[in-house]
């Protein structure tokens, strides 16, 4: 009897948790919410968290980072208008920096040869 | 020879401030209005007065990077194209002004709502304040009184204020700033002077990166890849190119020649 009541309570609690979780989520800031939910955002955060280390990357590593940025663009183009606007600008800055440092490193290598 | 160059330099030194006074440049703003931005793409056509944004209030609490990289505000007035819906969805001003984000233990007042009640109208006015006499929680003179002084701009030495710990601009806004594992900044360097006999230009990559983030400067503001390859004149700079992207409207202004044109003291 007691065990059954407990089980019922447990099921009920699980049910409640299920109901509450999405509601609680919706109240957090869009930034954190998206980070937990969306794969594109995880990739964005991963790629663009390294801009300040750019000088320590090799030409090969920088090339990969630029390619990963390019692969993200079509995914960002499919977002709703506010996120598309915000993240297009952020991706533009992030890609631009990697491309800039890449070019600088390529030039340096050229000069080294001469 | 050397003498002739320094004479030329002295003449230039005199002419530039003069030119900026007589030219098309607007008159120098008052200390509390330096860094003031009026945002007015959509407000007026929807029956709200334009928005007035003050840098001095905000830069005392956040680095430029938080807003201009992590949130994505543009570096020119009205370039961001902020819509009320964006703000309501928690972006741009709504990244902080959403009624629940706390800064210094205080919930930041919310921004735009679709159908404001009568009580909410007061809140709208705090931002949609152009041409209105609005009560503010911030008094510039009280705020700036304890801070080290500067002759130009806001009249505040922002760098020193930070060094002395009098202001502590946050480098992170949760949900917007991407957590970083480490900060490896490239080796610092000075920019080479173009005119012989002109004192070297002080520029710290390290300090600027902490304030602004690499991606704010490269490639949008500085695209020339080779050190010292892209040359600008002071006229270009005063029109907002190069250093002028920040040092005309928000960071200490160009009138402060010696802060850029002299040898740095010690290693940065």
Q: Which residues of A touch B184 (CB under 8 A)?
A: 52-53, 55-56
* Residue of chain A with shortest Cα separation from B89: A30
pLDDT of residue B226: 58
The average pLDDT across B208-229 equals: 84
The residue that leads in pLDDT, B119 or B139, is: B139
- Is residue B150 within 8 A of residue B42, CB to CB? The reply is no
ipTM: 0.83
First to last CA, chain B: 33
Per-domain boundaries in chain B: 1-27+181-268, 37-143
Same fold, B1-27+181-268 and B37-143: yes
Chain B nearest C-alpha distance from A29 (Å) = 7
Partner-chain contact A93 B220, CB within 8 Å = yes
Residue B9 reports pLDDT greater than 50 = no
* Residue of chain A with shortest Cα separation from B98: A29
Q: Which residues of A touch B70 (CB under 8 A)?
A: 90
Of A30, A52, A100, the CB nearest to B91: A30
Chain B nearest C-alpha distance from A109 (Å) = 12
- Is residue A44 within 8 A of residue A74, CB to CB? The reply is no
Weakest mean pLDDT among A46-55, B47-56, B60-69, B181-190: B181-190
Distance (Å, rounded) from C-alpha B81 to C-alpha A94?
20
What pLDDT digit, counting tens, does each position of A9-27 carry? 444 444 444 333 333 333 3
Per-domain boundaries in chain A: 2-113
Residue B267 reports pLDDT greater than 80 = no
- Longest pairwise C-alpha distance within chain A: 87
Q: Identify the residue whose tokens are 């989520």.
A: A25
Partner-chain contact A29 B220, CB within 8 Å = no
* Residue of chain A with shortest Cα separation from B173: A31
Distance (Å, rounded) from C-alpha B65 to C-alpha B70?
7
- Is residue B246 within 8 A of residue B237, CB to CB? The reply is no
Residue B130 pLDDT grade (very low, low, confident, very high; cuts 50, 70, 90): very high
The strand pairing partners of A75, in sequence order, are none
pLDDT of residue A3: 55
Chain A nearest C-alpha distance from B21 (Å) = 35
Weakest mean pLDDT among A31-35, A101-105, B18-22, B97-101: B18-22
User: Within an 8 Å CB–CB cutoff, is residue A54 touching chain B?
Assistant: yes
Distance (Å, rounded) from C-alpha B107 to C-alpha B100?
5
Render the burial of B230-256: b for 16+ CB within 10 Å, e for the rest.
Answer: eebebeebbebbbbbbbbbbbbbbbee
Residue B153 reports pLDDT greater than 50 = yes
Average pLDDT, chain B: 84
pLDDT of residue B150: 94
Token digits of residue B109: 């007042």
Number of inter-chain CB pairs under 8 A, A vs B: 91
What pLDDT digit, counting tens, does each position of B15-32 carry? 444 344 434 446 789 999
The strand pairing partners of B103, in sequence order, are B106
The residue that leads in pLDDT, B205 or A16, is: B205
Partner-chain contact A100 B69, CB within 8 Å = no
Q: Which CATH number fits domain B37-143: 1.10.3720.10, 3.90.10.10, 3.30.70.260, 3.40.1690.10?
A: 3.90.10.10
User: Within an 8 Å CB–CB cutoff, is residue A76 touching chain B?
Assistant: no
- Is residue B41 exposed (0-12), middle (13-18) or buried (19+ Cβ within 10 Å)? middle
Distance (Å, rounded) from C-alpha B84 to C-alpha B259?
40
> What is the CB neighbour count within 10 angstroms for residue B148?
14
First to last CA, chain A: 87
Architecture of the domain delimited by B1-27+181-268: Alpha-Beta Complex (3.90)
Q: What is the pTM of this model?
A: 0.89
User: Within an 8 Å CB–CB cutoff, is residue A63 touching chain B?
Assistant: no
What pLDDT digit, counting tens, does each position of B55-83 carry? 999 999 999 999 999 999 999 999 999 99
Residue A114 reports pLDDT greater than 80 = no
């Amino acid at each position: 009897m007691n065990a059954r009541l407990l089980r019922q309570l447990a099921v009920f609690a699980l049910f409640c948790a299920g109901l509450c979780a999405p509601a609680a989520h919706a109240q957090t800031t869009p930034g954190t919410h998206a980070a937990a939910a969306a794969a594109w955002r995880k990739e964005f955060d991963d790629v663009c968290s390294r801009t300040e280390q750019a000088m320590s990357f090799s030409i090969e590593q920088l090339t990969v980072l630029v390619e990963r940025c390019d692969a993200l663009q079509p995914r960002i183009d499919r977002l709703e208008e506010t996120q598309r606007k915000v993240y297009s600008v952020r991706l533009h800055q992030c890609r631009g920096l990697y491309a800039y440092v890449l070019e600088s490193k390529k030039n340096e290598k050229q000069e080294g040869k001469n | 020879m050397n003498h002739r160059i320094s004479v030329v330099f002295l003449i230039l030194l005199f002419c530039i401030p003069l030119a900026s006074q007589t030219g098309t440049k607007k008159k120098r703003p008052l200390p509390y209005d330096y860094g003031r931005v009026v945002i007015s793409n959509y407000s007026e056509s929807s029956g709200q007065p334009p928005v007035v944004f003050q840098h001095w209030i905000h830069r005392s609490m956040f680095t430029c990077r938080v807003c201009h990289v992590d949130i994505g505000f543009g570096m020119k007035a009205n370039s961001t194209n902020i819509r009320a819906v964006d703000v309501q969805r928690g972006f741009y001003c709504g990244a902080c002004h959403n009624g629940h984000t706390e800064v210094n233990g205080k919930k930041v007042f919310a921004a735009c709502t679709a159908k404001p009640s009568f009580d909410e109208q007061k809140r709208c006015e705090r931002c949609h304040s152009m041409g209105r006499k609005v009560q503010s929680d911030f008094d510039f003179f009280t705020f700036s009184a304890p801070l080290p002084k500067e002759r130009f701009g806001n009249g505040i030495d922002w760098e020193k204020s930070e060094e002395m710990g009098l202001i502590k601009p946050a480098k992170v806004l949760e949900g917007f700033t991407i957590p970083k594992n480490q900060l490896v900044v490239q080796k610092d360097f000075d920019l080479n002077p173009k005119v012989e006999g002109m004192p070297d230009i002080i520029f710290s990559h390290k300090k600027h990166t902490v304030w602004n983030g690499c991606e704010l400067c490269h490639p949008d503001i500085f695209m020339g890849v080779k050190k010292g390859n892209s040359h600008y004149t002071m006229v270009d700079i005063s029109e907002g190119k190069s250093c002028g992207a920040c040092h005309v409207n928000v960071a200490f202004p160009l009138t402060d020649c010696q802060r850029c044109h002299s040898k740095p003291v010690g290693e940065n």
